[in-house]
Every structure is written in structure tokens, then in C-alpha cells.
Structure 1
């Protein structure tokens, strides 16, 4: 444990700030807007996903999730196009969902040899193609894994209807021919109630724990991710997270062996009750659809989405480019990274609204990326609608609303005129400014301000901005935003399961 707690955030990650990933698998092709946890909910009689499954596919005793996998035909998947789109949108790292809770691997999996992306769906090694595309584009690649919770999460396929004409007829998950997908049948003592099942298995078998560990080792050893994600804390509950700790240690050691003995691997886990065992300081902490309310010393990672986690068929229910970009800026101002989920269509293409969001991000980053990449949090992160980032002798004040002809930044009211060399808007237009007892007053000619998603002012200083004084003024809280996200989307992305709260 002591050696794991020597983990430090790699420089590349602290500089990168922004990444993109995709929730994408056969659930995307479920023909249901309740696609987030479809592989679980389709086996829960009376649920919206179950009703959609009856209508679109048939009864789960006859047509199950395996049949959706077999029918899935993502013939427009193109790793090079995906990575180019994400890089043009400003992403400095790209993550591939290597395996979700549905137990289907997106790599040439030694321990899941049948149910993987070489045999079904894309019929290619998705992890390999995405990693190689990232290397060609000069950006980092990582893998997201949700398998630690699958043992309990996927047990609904072992059930049967409790009422109606199919009462007692077992779902297809009971067929031993498909146990390699549907997982061994567990006892109630192993998986607990629904509360535990969706969070983390209570007491999985030793065979499953070893199987999980082998699959993680296989992914690490053959695909060399620089970023590895567990959808939870360290698996498992019944071994106090030891299996997970073994994988994390292997990940760090493997990564260091490829970087001259220096670990450049970023491990991200969740600090959520009953999601495995959480140990502080062994990794980066990921925040699901939530943000920190203040600056943190060690970078964390906020993950969010344009809308639901998976494609639902509703191409109108996305968040605006502006709201997503503002969240990214707020996250970075607090010394954290932001990763954005862009859910592809079932065929591997992206709908028009997703492409617009990517284009909007890319245009903004092209003009203003210097205010994000390679920056660090300043002493205070906000003042009203401003967010601050810092780099060497530059302080960036990013306005989330269009400013008027005069801007007053009160956080700088103890600065002296000799502290400021110049003030620029958009990295090109020098502005007139004055320090008053109230703060820094900036005068902005009307013709300088077009329509932007956010407005960047660079304040060039005569010394390192970390050594300049500050005043905390009108700090904005994101508590209401976090609560709204939790209520609207929940853990499954469709609002059907309560989003767990983190401990810290």
C-alpha cells in the first residue's frame, strides 16, 4: 500500500486537461431510449427497457442480450475518423470503453475469446485500432473498464417473469451454453439486494475474481494504456480491494517499464461507498457527473456527457456546447481534468448535434487553448462569471458571459501597476486597463467582442502569478448543478437509478 500511495499525477495529464471517450456497445443498438443499462434492465419485468425489448425483439426467454450483440452491425466505425474528430475538438487524450457491465470486450481478449469485438459488432480489435490512431495523431490513449461490477450487475439475466403468460419461464441467461457472456449464477449472499447489485458484488467467487484480474492484466500487457479507469473503487468487497490493488500496481509497473522507469500511467477510481474499497492517494479520483466546489491540491477528473451515457435515438436532448464548455472551464479552474462522453450511433457514426458540439469545442480551443492547456489553478478559481487559470507569468480570466465595455476584476485589488505588463483579449488585442482600489478595470472596445462560448483575457505579469496577492470575491458554487445532474441522468444515464454520492 505504501508504494501505491507514492502515486503522483503525471505531468502530461496535468497539462492535458481535456479528454473524450464514447459509451458504445450493443446496448447502443437496443432500439430503446433506455439504453444506458439496457443489458440489466431488459431482464427486469415491467421496466421500460423490458417493455421495449418485448416490442422490438421478443421475450427475454427467447431473444436475449446475446441476440442483440449478434445483430449489431456498426459498419461505419472508423477509428481514424473518431480520433481525428476528437483531436480537432481539442482533446489531448482519448479513452476507449474496453468493457462495460455487459461483459463484452473490445479487444482481442484472451479470457473472453468469444464475446468480443473481433467476433461481433465491429469485427475488429477496437482497442488496437483506437490506440494506433491516437499514436498517429500524437495524443495519449487509455481504456475504461466497468467489469468490476458485472458479476452482480448482470445477474438479472438469471431470472424469469413473476406474472403473466411467461411466468416462471427462465430468461436466456440460464442457458449454460452462454455462461461465458451471462456469467455464472450467483447466490443472494454473493450479490445482495438491488442496492448492492448495481454498486458492487458483495462476495463474488474466487474464480470470477481471478478471471477479472486476468482480463485486466491482458488489457494492460497487450495494449499499454496511459490511462486506466475502474467504474468504482478497487475490486472486490470480500478481499478488501486486493484484486484491484494488484491490478493497479501492475498497471503502474508496466507503464514505468515503457517510460524509462517513470510511471506515466493515470489510474482513476471512484470514491463512492460500497463500490469496492477506496484507498486514498493510490490514484486519481474520478467524479461522475459532478464537479469539485473548490480548488483541489491533486488533480481529479470530472466525467460528463452530452446527454445520456449511450445513444438513445433522441438527437434533440443534448446539452448545449456552451454549457459543456463552461463546465470544462470551471473544472480546469479547480485543478481538475474534464472528460466528455460523445455517444455514437449504433452504426459507429455521430449524429449532427454531436458533430456540432465537437466543432464548437474545436473552434474555441483553436483560439483559446493557451488558457487551458498546461495551466494550473490560481489561488482562487472564480469571481462571479469569471474563472481563473494560471501559467508562469500569465493569469487568464475567462468570462462565461459576454462582458460589457468595462470589466472589473475585484480579486486583483491588492495588485500594483508594476505587476501588470499588458492585458489582452483573445491573445491578440491589447486593451487599456487601470488598477483602482476596487480592482483591475479593463476597457473593451465594442468591436473587439464577437459572439463566443467564453471570453478569454490574458493578464501578462512581471513575475510569476502564483506569487501575486489575491482576494476571494463572489465564489460560485456548483452544488445545485451537481444535484440537477444527479436527478436528471442518474447512474444509468437515463434517470432510472440514483447516482451514488461520493464520500469526499
Structure 2
């Protein structure tokens, strides 16, 4: 996946705009866990080609056989692709992708119950997609009739998400597709990474359109996180009032403790994003790992438990990311009706239960002097309470620890205390209590 912080758009030289000076606020660094919610027209077909172990798709076919169900609006336009073929069979040649707006029934969506599941799973912030690349807006916008208040659900879904998230006491953010909008564009389908940046609008009219939508979102919802995707139109990167610099300055005037990501295509960004990527070590700059519970962000009904993270895998991923100075933005992809599929719920609830016992070793922590040990199944986080040792293979019965921790007391999450016993070679060994050996990750705090 691409690193977006290195893409900085046109060089304006001495006429370069002035960007905000805000960094990444402490609340964001303390939060550690957020939930993405990818929900849109793509949730009606809810389908993409299965990916995973044993599936080998040539690079040149990656877009025709896209793993993301939320890219249905693009893959369905690639003649002969599996998505195109399935669409003909299910909906027929006379039904376009945008016609699905009138088939979208969100009658099972209860915002408070939905957000309650996310907060129960440990989320400190919630970021729904307000407009994905398809161009369908999920709020009652004055900029276009192609929105959920006018068609399909006939509801201001983002308004409902916002209100429920605030009531739940979590931070609220918005995802917005800044430079890709297939509804107001007339390009061939994207079939390569080159096409991803070639087939998009950069004109002033579209730049103003995007700016008006983002201004609406900020004015209506004062989002704590502004999460832009796949850059901004080049026509909106200068010194104009509708350009990125002015937009971000207006945003921080409205939300001084807000934060943005790195996907604007300009020299300014807040936290780094890493999508479906394993990071080998600590990153000095605050960053966020994001992915779906399966191989897609949008719900893919073709996936089953072979393609989706279990509760144990999700917990271990969270621990690994936090040990390396990151936040985890894990995604839930609801069905079209607004319900969370059982497979996703099971993993979410397992993580919530684990955090209920071990949250002090995650929330508000910072990296230790290293994230783990090269040959040992262990990760570290640190706080004022000490060094939190995360044994990621508790069934082993003990965890080897470095000399820095040898001879010190460790308190396990069950309240028991044990010494990190020094060994003849100068390192330490910590025995894991029997009760914790079946956990996804067993946690001890070394004071």
C-alpha cells in the first residue's frame, strides 16, 4: 500500500501557501483505538473477490479483482471483471451502480446501539465514511442530491452517527474522499496505481465542490479527526479560500484540539497512515494502522472466518501497533441494513472484554525503549505505572525478559505478583499464572 506523506502535489515555490502549525494532540496519542465505519452504496451488493492465503492474483489484475468491496463502483465498470459478471447476474444490465441508491434500506440501523458496540469494543474515537469514492454523501448536504437524506435510506446517517458518538462520550471523526468522486467525473475505470492518480478531476469547479462539502462537515459536526483519502484536487492546493491550506486553517479555528491525517497531497500532515501494512519497529512520528477485520473495509458477504481476524488476532494486532507508537483504526463494515455482521461482532466483543481487564496497559501509554525482543513473543508499552509486558504466547507458560527488568516485581492483570527471576546469563524470566495462559495476550506491569 502507498505511503501518502511523500506525495506533496504541485511545487508553488515562493508562492507556497501557509499551513497550520498544529501537531498531533495528546488525546489522540492516548486514545490508541478507533473504529472506521465503511458504509455506502457498496453495502447493497456487499461483494468482492475473495482474497487471502492461497489466492494469487497477478499485479496487473489487482484492480479488476479488487479486494475492497467499497471499490465495487469501479470494478463493476471493468468489463469482464468478476464484479462486472456478478452484477449482470444479480441486477441485470439495466441497473447501474448508482441505481443501487434506491435499493438501499437502512431500516435496522440504530445509531446508539451501533456506536455502543464500538465503544464496548474499546473505541475512543469513531470515524464513519461521509463520502467514499462513489460520491454518495451520507449526510443531508446542500451540495448534491446524491445523498442518503434524499435517496435510499432517506436519513442523515452522519448526523445520527455524530449524535450517538457524542452521547457515548467518544471522539467523533469524519472520513472524506477528497480527490476521487466517480459521480461527478467522466473517466475510464481505474485499473492501476498510475490510473489512481491520473483519472481524477483537478479543475477549480471540482475543487470548490470538495471544499464546500468539507466546510459543511466541519461546520455541522466539529469533527475531532479529519481523515481525508487519496489526496486533494491539485486545483485546490494554492492560496485560494477553497484550497487545502485555508480549509485546514478554518478547521483548526473551529476545532483547536482536532487532528488530521497525511493524505492531502500537501507538505502538511498530522499523523501518518499505514493501510494493511505490518510495521517492523517503532515509528518516531505518531501513526495509525488501518484495515478491515477481513480483506475489505466495506462488508463482503463472500468472506467467512477464513478471511477475517479472530478476537485473539485482533488483540495481538492492537498490542503490536501500540507497542510501536501507533493507534489502531480497525474497520467495521455493516450490512446495508445497518447491522454489524456476527463474524465482526465476535472479534470486536472479544477485544472489548480483553481491554476491560488490560486497558491500563494500552490507553495513555507510550513506547518503551524498544517494542519487543527479536526472538521472544513479547511486546512492551510504558506508562507512569511502569513497563507493561505483553506476553503474546501465554500458553508457553513463561516469558523471557531483558536484563533491564530482571530482579523486579511484576503484577499480573489478575492481581498476582511475581519476580522477574534473574537467570545465569543475566536476563530475566517471568512465569505466567495458570489462569492467564489461555488469554490472547497476558499482561504484567513491571514497576
TM-score with structure 2 length normalisation?
A: 0.84
What is the aligned partner in structure 2 of residue 44 from structure 1?
Answer: 78
1:438 aligns with 2:438: no
SS of corresponding position for 1:198: helix
Q: Which of 42, 53, 64 is equivalent to 1:27? A: 42
- CA distance, structure 1, for counterparts of residue 88 and residue 101 of structure 2: 16
What is the aligned partner in structure 2 of residue 104 from structure 1?
Answer: 136
Distance 1:239 1:285, change over 3 A: same
1:237 aligns with 2:230: no
Distance 1:184 1:292, change over 3 A: closer
Distance 1:147 1:415, change over 3 A: closer
Query: Which of 1 and 2 has greater Rg?
Result: 1
- CA distance, structure 1, for counterparts of residue 288 and residue 209 of structure 2: 28
SS of corresponding position for 2:254: helix
- CA distance, structure 2, for counterparts of residue 315 and residue 76 of structure 1: 22
**CA offset at residue 438 of structure 1?**
2.3
1:250 aligns with 2:281: no
1:13 aligns with 2:20: no
**Structure 1: segments with no counterpart, 5+ residues:** 155-181, 256-262, 271-275, 461-504
- CA distance, structure 2, for counterparts of residue 230 and residue 435 of structure 1: 50
1:217 aligns with 2:215: yes
- CA distance, structure 1, for counterparts of residue 406 and residue 78 of structure 2: 66
- CA distance, structure 2, for counterparts of residue 147 and residue 69 of structure 1: 21
What is the aligned partner in structure 1 of residue 174 from structure 2?
Answer: 143
8 Å CA contact 1:427, 1:457 repeated in 2: no
8 Å CA contact 2:17, 2:238 repeated in 1: no
**CA offset at residue 441 of structure 1?**
2.3
1:340 aligns with 2:330: yes
What is the aligned partner in structure 1 of residue 95 from structure 2?
Answer: 63
**Structure 2: segments with no counterpart, 5+ residues:** 1-15, 50-68
SS of corresponding position for 1:228: strand
What is the aligned partner in structure 2 of residue 117 from structure 1?
Answer: 148
Distance 1:13 1:427, change over 3 A: farther
Residue deviations 1:43-72 (CA, integer Å, cap 9, x gap): 22111111111111121xx32122111111
Q: Which of 274, 281, 291 is equivalent to 1:304? A: 291
**CA offset at residue 319 of structure 1?**
2.1
SS of corresponding position for 1:374: coil
- CA distance, structure 1, for counterparts of residue 248 and residue 23 of structure 2: 14
What does 1:27-426 correspond to in 2, within 5 Å? 27-30=42-45, 32-34=47-49, 35-59=69-93, 62-112=94-144, 114-150=145-181, 154=182, 182-185=183-186, 195-199=193-197, 201=199, 204-233=202-231, 235-237=232-234, 240=237, 243-255=243-255, 263-270=256-263, 277-280=265-268, 282-307=269-294, 308-316=296-304, 317-383=307-373, 384-410=376-402, 413-414=403-404, 417=407, 420=408, 422-426=409-413
Aligned residues: 404
SS of corresponding position for 1:341: strand
What is the aligned partner in structure 1 of residue 63 from structure 2?
Answer: none
Residue deviations 1:66-97 (CA, integer Å, cap 9, x gap): 21111111210111011100011011111111
8 Å CA contact 2:237, 2:245 repeated in 1: no
SS of corresponding position for 1:83: helix
SS of corresponding position for 2:366: coil
8 Å CA contact 1:335, 1:377 repeated in 2: yes
8 Å CA contact 1:386, 1:399 repeated in 2: yes
8 Å CA contact 1:9, 1:298 repeated in 2: no
Distance 1:241 1:330, change over 3 A: farther
8 Å CA contact 1:149, 1:200 repeated in 2: no
8 Å CA contact 1:20, 1:339 repeated in 2: yes
What does 1:477-496 correspond to in 2, within 5 Å? none
What does 1:443-462 correspond to in 2, within 5 Å? 443-445=431-433, 447-460=434-447
8 Å CA contact 1:330, 1:387 repeated in 2: yes
**CA offset at residue 135 of structure 1?**
1.2
**CA offset at residue 145 of structure 1?**
0.9
Distance 1:382 1:192, change over 3 A: closer
- CA distance, structure 1, for counterparts of residue 99 and residue 155 of structure 2: 19
Residue deviations 1:105-158 (CA, integer Å, cap 9, x gap): 11111212x1111122332211111111111111101101124222xxx2xxxx
**CA offset at residue 309 of structure 1?**
1.6
8 Å CA contact 2:107, 2:153 repeated in 1: yes
SS of corresponding position for 1:39: helix
**CA offset at residue 37 of structure 1?**
1.0
